[in-house]
Amino acid sequence: MRALTSVAGVQSLRSITARSSSARVLDLHSLALDAGEDPDHRARPMFMHPVLNRTIIVKHHPRVGEFENGLERGAIVTKVIFPFDPTDLDLGGQFLLVDDPDLVDQLARHLDWRDIDMGRDLMMLRLIDRLPTLDPFLLHEAFVANKIDVAPCYFRLSATDKTEMRDFVARQVETLIGLCFGGITVSDAQAKRLSELILAEGDSPELAPLRMAMRMESVEFAQAMFCWKAVLYYRWRSRLLGPEIKATHRSIIGVELSRFDPDSARFARAAISQLEALVLDCERRIAEMFRIYDEVFDALTAQRTPEPFRRFLIDGPRLFARLGERMGRLEQLTSYWSHQFPGLRTRQLRPEAIYDGLRNLLSALSLGTPLTEVAQDGEKTEQVWTEGDLEAWSSPKRRGRRAAS
């Protein structure tokens, strides 16, 4: 494994874990410290090997020539970091890349696999590598789709995301307080407290009035809260991501094809068309999902009718998987394009550089490939969110039949 050292001007591992978003960093190291006494953390781990299960996994944009083996890398790689000292992240660590051809040899050489199933951990690493982001809700649905049992404690938002989401969620749930607590006047403190409870890991007795208002048993309510947290997370991310998507879209369609040779121009034109179609399709489907959410949430708060919202959250995992994929692809698109083309400017770059950027981006986005399942040779993967789902939720008559089924 390569050495990862902390030198002046380079982020330390402590800085990475403290400030990074849930979409970019999966901090199993901090989770191992925080959930060390949780029996589920040990009994239902993300990785069977205890060393892998306390690593820091990062989605990383490789720079040209960054890695010494000379392999041509994709737009985004998955880096698995092994801290040197679990008590002092400033000392740095070692890392490996999941797309390395010698990944199996590296794992076998550096870790003791006696009585541990390496195959299961390899499958997990490759599944994570396929995902566009590391957000906990997309991870959760990817593992469920592959029938991999992982404890709920592993699917948590980063401290940075929870802090930034708190006020946004508070504004979303203000009207719920009156519903749950008898029409009392809502204060900022009460709204923020409810937002903290919703974003927290695990259940809280303070949410019992909300559970009763939604007419749910404890287990069902816990699952519903996880789904609700997912849609709130994606809605928050979509508002931050919106301006970036528009700027990236303008930059992509502004590529000057007249500077390319005929063959390269044909490829670039087709690639730009694919990316534009991806952006428009993702935006349309995400907007439709949020419109449906608004309808059922309004029924809960304004009309005091919990059934549509309740049904929406019960069906949530199947719907949110594709929402997470689409949000993740848009995040990949904007983050890679801004990294590859600083300032979103392409005019000063050689056509060859733009050609390579488009090719790598299409590969990273895996256009046309479901991302939440590991496809076996000759085996089709399942679509988890189809046009039929959207139509069923969009039509009141269909919703009624669905709820009655």
In this predicted structure, the answer to whether residue 394 has a pLDDT above a threshold of 70 is no
pLDDT score at 119: 94
Of all residues in the chain, the percent with pLDDT exceeding 90 is 22
pLDDT score at 104: 92
pLDDT winner (highest mean) among 253-257, 346-350, 367-371: 253-257
In this predicted structure, the answer to whether residue 345 has a pLDDT above a threshold of 70 is yes
pLDDT score at 72: 55
Least confident window among 16-25, 76-85, 170-179: 170-179
Q: Span 262-273, mean pLDDT?
A: 92
The residue with greater pLDDT, 347 or 284, is 284
Do residues 191 and 171 touch, judged by C-beta distance below 8 A? yes
For the beta carbon of residue 261, count every other beta carbon within 10 angstroms: 10
Q: What would the pLDDT profile of 283-334 be if each residue is shown by its tens digit? A: 998 998 888 888 888 887 777 777 788 788 877 666 666 788 888 889 888 8
In this predicted structure, the answer to whether residue 11 has a pLDDT above a threshold of 80 is no
Work out the pLDDT band at 381, boundaries 50, 70, 90: very low
In this predicted structure, the answer to whether residue 182 has a pLDDT above a threshold of 70 is no
Work out the pLDDT band at 362, boundaries 50, 70, 90: confident
Quick one: which H or E segment has residue 60? strand 56-60
Q: What would the pLDDT profile of 197-251 be if each residue is shown by its tens digit? A: 888 866 678 888 778 877 788 888 888 888 888 888 998 999 888 999 999 998 8
- Angle subtended by helix axes 262-301 and 387-394, to nearest 10: 30
C-alpha to C-alpha distance for 6 and 214, rounded to whole angstroms: 50
Do residues 331 and 236 touch, judged by C-beta distance below 8 A? no
Of all residues in the chain, the percent with pLDDT exceeding 70 is 79
In this predicted structure, the answer to whether residue 400 has a pLDDT above a threshold of 70 is no
In this predicted structure, the answer to whether residue 379 has a pLDDT above a threshold of 60 is no
In this predicted structure, the answer to whether residue 154 has a pLDDT above a threshold of 90 is yes
pLDDT winner (highest mean) among 4-13, 97-106, 214-223, 337-346: 97-106
Q: What is the mean pLDDT of the chain?
A: 78
Q: What would the pLDDT profile of 57-75 be if each residue is shown by its tens digit? A: 999 877 655 665 545 555 6
pLDDT score at 150: 95
CB-neighbour burial class of residue 358 (10 A; exposed 0-12, middle 13-18, buried 19+): buried
pLDDT score at 192: 78
pLDDT score at 346: 82
C-alpha to C-alpha distance for 268 and 282, rounded to whole angstroms: 21
Quick one: which H or E segment has residue 213? helix 208-213
CB-neighbour burial class of residue 195 (10 A; exposed 0-12, middle 13-18, buried 19+): buried
In this predicted structure, the answer to whether residue 395 has a pLDDT above a threshold of 50 is no
pLDDT score at 318: 66
Least confident window among 84-88, 104-108, 132-136, 259-263: 84-88
pLDDT score at 316: 67
In this predicted structure, the answer to whether residue 161 has a pLDDT above a threshold of 60 is yes
Q: Span 125-146, mean pLDDT?
A: 90
For the beta carbon of residue 365, count every other beta carbon within 10 angstroms: 22
